[in-house]
Amino acid sequence: MRLLRVAGVAALVGAVALGFWLFQLDRHITSTFEGRRWSIPARVFAQPLELYPGRALSADQLGLELERIGYASGRVDAPGTWRREGRNLQVHLRRFVFTEGVRPARVVRVRFEGTHISGLEDGAGASLALARVEPPVIGSIFPGHGEDRLIVPPGETPELLLETLKVVEDRNFDQHHGFDPAAILRAAWVNLRSGRVEQGGSTLTQQLVKSYYLDNRRTLGRKLRELAMAVILELRFEKQDLLNAYVNEIYVGQDGARAVHGFGLASQFYFGRPLAETTPAQIALLVAVIRGPSYYNPFRHPDRARARRDRVLEQMHEFDLIDAATRDRAQASDLGTSRGDRRAGRYYPAFMDLVRAQLQRDYDPKLLASSGFRIFTSLEPVVQESAERAVRRTLSRIEAKRDLEAGALQAAVVVTHAQTGEVQAVVGSRDPAVDGFNYALDGQRPIGSLIKPLVYLSALERDPDLHLASIIDDAPVALTDARGERWTPHNFSGGPRGPVPVIRALAESLNLATVQLGLATGVEPVAERIGELLGEPPPPAWPSLLLGALELSPLDVARIYALFSGDGFAAPVKGILAVEDRAGARLDRYPLQTRQVGDIASVLQINHALTTVMTRGTGRGSLYAGRGVAGKTGTSDDYRDAWFVGFDATRLAVVWVGYGDGRSSRLTGSSGALPVWDAMMSELPVMPVEMPLPPGHRLIDVDFETGLRADAACGDPVTIPVPLRAPVRSKPGCRLDPGDELRNLGNRIRSWLD
Residues annotated catalytic, as ranges: 169, 449
Side-chain-facing half-sphere of 464: CA atoms under 13 Å: 3
Q: Does 592 bind other proteins (CB under 8 A)?
A: yes
Q: Which of residues 149-168 bind other proteins (CB under 8 A)?
A: none
Q: What ranges in 104-148 are assigned the alpha helix state H?
A: none
Q: What is the gyration radius of the CA atoms in the chain, in angstroms?
A: 34
**Residue from the set 202, 207, 470, 622 that interacts with other proteins by CB under 8 A:** 622
Interface residue with other proteins among 688, 705, 725, 734 (CB under 8 A) is 688
By beta-carbon proximity to other proteins, the closer residue of 311 and 627 is: 627
Would you say 344 or 693 has its CB closer to other proteins?
A: 693
Residue 690 contacts other proteins per CB under 8 A? yes
List the one residue from 129, 325, 332, 478 that touches other proteins (CB under 8 A): 129
DSSP reduced 3-state for 625: coil
In the bound state with other proteins, the residue whose beta carbon lies nearer, of 339 and 750, is 750
CA torsion angle for 279, 320, 201, 203 (degrees, to 10)?
Answer: 70
Q: Which of 202, 410, 419, 635 binds other proteins (CB under 8 A)?
A: 419
Binding of other proteins by 511 (CB under 8 A)? no
Bridge partner list, 633? 644
* Options 141-149, 206-214, 635-643, 678-686: segment touching other proteins (CB under 8 A): 678-686
Q: Which of 226, 277, 556, 678 touches other proteins by CB under 8 A?
A: 678
Contact 550, 449 (CB under 8 A): no
Which one of the spans 159-167, 201-209, 232-240, 742-750 is the region binding other proteins (CB under 8 A)?
A: 742-750
Judged by CB under 8 A, the residue of 208, 573, 681, 726 near other proteins is: 681
CA dist 336 → 72, 362, 541 (Å)? 11, 42, 63
- 749 interacts with other proteins by CB under 8 A: yes
Q: CA geometry: angle at 55 spanning 391 and 575, to 5°?
A: 50
Q: Compare residues 527 and 684 and give the one whose CB is closer to other proteins.
A: 684
- As measured in angstroms, the least distance from the Cβ of 710 to other proteins is 8
Alpha-carbon span 732 to 319, nearest angstrom: 99
Binding piece for other proteins, criterion CB under 8 A, among 75-83, 417-425, 535-543, 548-556: 417-425
Among 591, 732, 733, 738, the residue binding other proteins under the rule CB under 8 A is: 591
- Between residues 265 and 710, which has the closer beta carbon with respect to other proteins? 710
- Comparing C-alpha atoms, which of 622, 681, 628 is closest to residue 651? 681
Does residue 615 belong to the site contacting other proteins (CB under 8 A)? yes
Which of 292, 687, 727, 729 is close enough to bind other proteins by CB under 8 A? Answer: 687
Classify the phi-psi angles of 233: left when phi > 0, otherwise alpha if psi is within -120 to 50, otherwise beta. alpha
For residues 593 to 612, the per-residue mask of contacts with other proteins, x marking binding by CB under 8 A and - elsewhere, is: xxxx---x-------xx-xx
As a whole number of angstroms, the distance between CA 227 and CA 236 comes to 14
Tell which positions 521-580 bind other proteins, by CB under 8 A. 566-569, 578
> Is residue 9 within the footprint of other proteins (CB under 8 A)?
no
Q: Which is nearer to other proteins, 12 or 693 (CB)?
A: 693
Q: Residue 645: CB partners within 8 Å, gap ≥ 6?
A: 450, 557, 558, 561, 631, 632, 634, 652, 653, 654, 655
Interface pick for other proteins out of 13, 18, 64, 130 (rule CB under 8 A) = 130
Gap between the Cα atoms of 183 and 661, Å rounded: 63
Residues in the chain: 754
> Binding other proteins by CB under 8 A: which of 689, 708, 726, 728?
689
Query: C-beta of 100: minimal distance to other proteins in Å?
Result: 4
Query: Interaction with other proteins in 18-57: which residues (CB under 8 A)?
Result: 50, 52-57
Are the beta carbons of 633 and 657 closer than 8 angstroms?
A: no
CB 204 within 8 A of CB 179: no
- Which amino acid is it at 522? G
Q: Please state, in angstroms and rounded to a whole number, the distance separating the CA atoms of residues 267 and 417.
A: 34
The answer to whether residue 134 forms part of the interface with other proteins (CB under 8 A) is no
**Amino acid symbol at 713:** A
* Contact flag: residue 616 with other proteins (CB under 8 A): yes
Q: Based on the shown chain and the rule CB under 8 A, indicate whether residue 587 belongs to the binding site for other proteins.
A: no
- Give the 3-state DSSP-derived string for 539-592, with helices as H, strands as E and coil as C: CCCCHHHHHCCCEECHHHHHHHHHHHHCCCEECCCECEEEEECCCCCEEEECCC
User: Please, which residue, 540 or 695, has the CB nearer to other proteins?
Assistant: 695
Q: What is the footprint of other proteins within residues 626-665 (CB under 8 A)?
A: 626-629, 649
By CB under 8 A, tell whether 745 contacts other proteins: yes
Region binding other proteins by CB under 8 A among candidate stretches 18-26, 136-144, 152-160, 588-596: 588-596
Helix (H) or strand (E) holding 56: none
- Site residues for other proteins, 182-201, by CB under 8 A, read none
Say if strands 72-73 and 81-85 run parallel, antiparallel, or are unpaired.
Answer: parallel
Residue 734 interacts with other proteins (CB under 8 A): yes or no: no
Residues 6+ apart with CB under 8 A from 171: 183
Region near other proteins per CB under 8 A, out of 62-70, 253-261, 269-277, 418-426: 418-426
User: Which amino acid, one-letter code, is at 219?
Assistant: T
Q: Of 93-101, 270-278, 318-326, 354-362, which segment contacts other proteins by CB under 8 A? A: 93-101
The percent of the chain in helix, strand and coil, each rounded to the nearest 5, is 40, 20, 40
Residue 153 phi, psi (nearest 5): -70, 160
Quote the CA–CA distance of 349 and 613 in Å, as a whole number.
Answer: 34
Candidate segments 23-31, 202-210, 457-465, 675-683, binder of other proteins by CB under 8 A: 675-683
Question: How would DSSP label each residue in 40-103?
Answer: B-EEEE-PPEEE-TT-B--HHHHHHHHHHTTPEES--SSTTEEEEETTEEEEEEPPEEETTEEE
CA–CA gap between residue 600 and residue 584 (Å, rounded): 41
Tell the smallest beta-carbon distance from residue 577 to other proteins (Å): 8
Determine if 93 is a binding residue for other proteins (CB under 8 A): no
Cα–Cα distance, 206 to 242 (Å, whole number): 10
Least distance in angstroms from the C-beta of 103 to other proteins: 12
Among 103-111, 181-189, 389-397, 625-633, the segment contacting other proteins (CB under 8 A): 625-633
Among 132, 164, 159, CA closest to 48: 132
Contact 174, 166 (CB under 8 A): yes
Q: Which of 292, 279, 259, 260 is nearest to 335 (CA)?
A: 279
The size of the interface with other proteins (CB under 8 A), counted in residues, is 87
Residues 52-91 that bind other proteins (CB under 8 A): 52-57
State yes or no: residue 17 binds other proteins (CB under 8 A): no
Residue 111 found at the interface with other proteins (CB under 8 A): no
Minimal distance, residue 125 CB to other proteins, in Å: 17
* Distance in Å, CB of 236 to other proteins, minimum: 41
Q: Does 97 bind other proteins (CB under 8 A)?
A: no
Q: Give the Cα separation of 218 and 276 in Å (integer).
A: 35
Q: How far apart are CA 709 and CA 699, in angstroms?
A: 11
Region 694-723 residues binding other proteins, contact defined as CB under 8 A: 695, 698-701, 704, 711-713, 716-720
Residue 341 DSSP code: G
Q: Is 99 in the site for other proteins (CB under 8 A)?
A: yes
Min separation Cβ 632 and other proteins, Å? 14
Q: Shortest Cβ distance from residue 538 to other proteins (Å)?
A: 22
Under the criterion CB under 8 A, does residue 581 sit at the interface with other proteins? no
In the complex with other proteins, which residue's Cβ is closer, 342 or 725? 725
Helices of type H across 441-567: 452-462, 502-507, 511-521, 524-534, 554-565
Among 422, 474, 556, 580, binds other proteins (CB under 8 A): 422
CB of 594 to other proteins, least distance (A): 5
- Give dist(CA 212, CA 576) in Å, integer: 34
